[in-house]
Amino acid sequence: MRIVVTGSSGMLGRATVQNLLAAGHTVLGVDATPLADSPCRTFVGDLREPYTIHRALDHFGDRTDAIVHLANHRNAESAPGETVLRENLAMNTSVAMAALQTGIPRLVFSSSIQAFVGGIQRNLTGEIIYPDRFPIDESLPPKPMNPYGLSKLLTEHMLDQLCNAEQFQSPLTALSLRFPYLMPQHHIEMVAERTAPTDYRWGGAEAFAYLHMEDAAEAVRLACEVSTPNHQVLWLAAPDPRTPESPAELATRFYESVPGVETVLQRNSFVDCSKARSILGWEPARTITVERAARAARTTS
């Protein structure tokens, strides 16, 4: 496949480009700040400027099979809230409309857990924010708590409309991947060493969900390769939390009043990624639990 990756110089962008190239795909990166040692051709441009994505597609040549759209403000704190919302929506609209107008059949969008929960752990009155229920999956009602999360949710709604083949007579289909906190390997190793009890402030509203950067990149590649109709949203996360405690221990400490908490004890996980497993054939392999087991084996050998 010939695949354009926006935000190719970012952490997820670099991992995605490497994964796509290793699978034999042809990749064009698009980024305002190119890497000196980029493994793929890179079109230098700022997607906040009109027509940048069109110029990138022209640069790539006659055919593009998919766009992986990762270029956004990376979190709610990267700029003032109104800037994050305005610029993310501008970039997302530009890329989605370019795909629609040029007949590109596949768009993979990097959405976020913050499209429906999280980002902050207390509301404006100081009350702790808990998940609405467990397990966390795609059917939870969205409640974005900041402009970053709102920008992701509004883009998902836009893709619902643009990927309606009857309305637009277009081949465009899309998958929005709701990523949690993404962690590179060295961060996984740091968390695996922790023993101190977890503070709710560090991700409690998101059930301490996380995903290894390489597992996220693998999901992006699979999302390019599979065929699905219209637009769908997938929740992606590691099965274990990013804490020293087990899901059962966290459930007892923080979530006893949350509906469905008994499923945490049955599943030993706060999240349900069965839709992603079914559609993508994807399974996260690089987890904190695996790292702890590897460390224990090295210690006893």
The domain limits of the chain are 2-120+135-183+210-239+270-286
Tens of pLDDT along 5-43? 999 999 999 999 999 999 999 999 999 999 999 999 999
Q: Sorting pLDDT into bands at 50, 70 and 90, what band is 4?
A: very high
Of all residues in the chain, the percent with pLDDT exceeding 90 is 73
Question: Model-level pTM greater than 0.85?
Answer: yes
Q: Is the pLDDT of residue 288 over 90?
A: yes
Distances in Å between the Cα of 64 and the Cα atoms of 9, 25, 118, 214 are 20, 11, 35, 24
What local confidence, expressed as pLDDT, does residue 128 receive? Answer: 78
* Burial environment of residue 93 by CB neighbours within 10 A (0 to 12, 13 to 18, 19 or more): middle
Helices (H) and strands (E) in the chain, counts: 11, 9
What local confidence, expressed as pLDDT, does residue 120 receive? Answer: 63
What local confidence, expressed as pLDDT, does residue 301 receive? Answer: 66
Residue type, 202: W
Spatial distance between the Cα atoms of 111 and 271, rounded to a whole number of angstroms: 17
Name the more confident of 249 and 218: 218
Residues 17-48, buried b or exposed e (16+ Cβ, 10 A)? bbbbeeeebbbbbbbeebbeebebebbebebe
Tokens encoding 106:
């596949």
Q: Is the pLDDT of residue 154 over 80?
A: yes
Of all residues in the chain, the percent with pLDDT exceeding 70 is 97
DSSP string, 84-116: HHHHHHHHHHHHHHHHHHHT--EEEEEEEGGGT
Tens of pLDDT along 132-146? 899 999 998 888 888
Name the more confident of 223 and 244: 223
Tens of pLDDT along 92-127? 999 999 999 999 999 999 999 999 876 666 766 777
Spatial distance between the Cα atoms of 46 and 254, rounded to a whole number of angstroms: 43
Tens of pLDDT along 48-89? 998 999 999 999 987 999 999 999 998 888 898 899 999 999
Question: Helix or strand or coil: residue 183?
Answer: strand
What local confidence, expressed as pLDDT, does residue 152 receive? Answer: 97
Q: Sorting pLDDT into bands at 50, 70 and 90, what band is 280?
A: very high
Residue type, 19: N
Q: Are 149 and 274 in contact (CB under 8 A)?
A: no
Mean pLDDT, the chain, whole residue set: 92
CATH architecture of 2-120+135-183+210-239+270-286: 3-Layer(aba) Sandwich (3.40)
Q: Is the pLDDT of residue 91 over 70?
A: yes
Q: Is the pLDDT of residue 297 over 90?
A: no
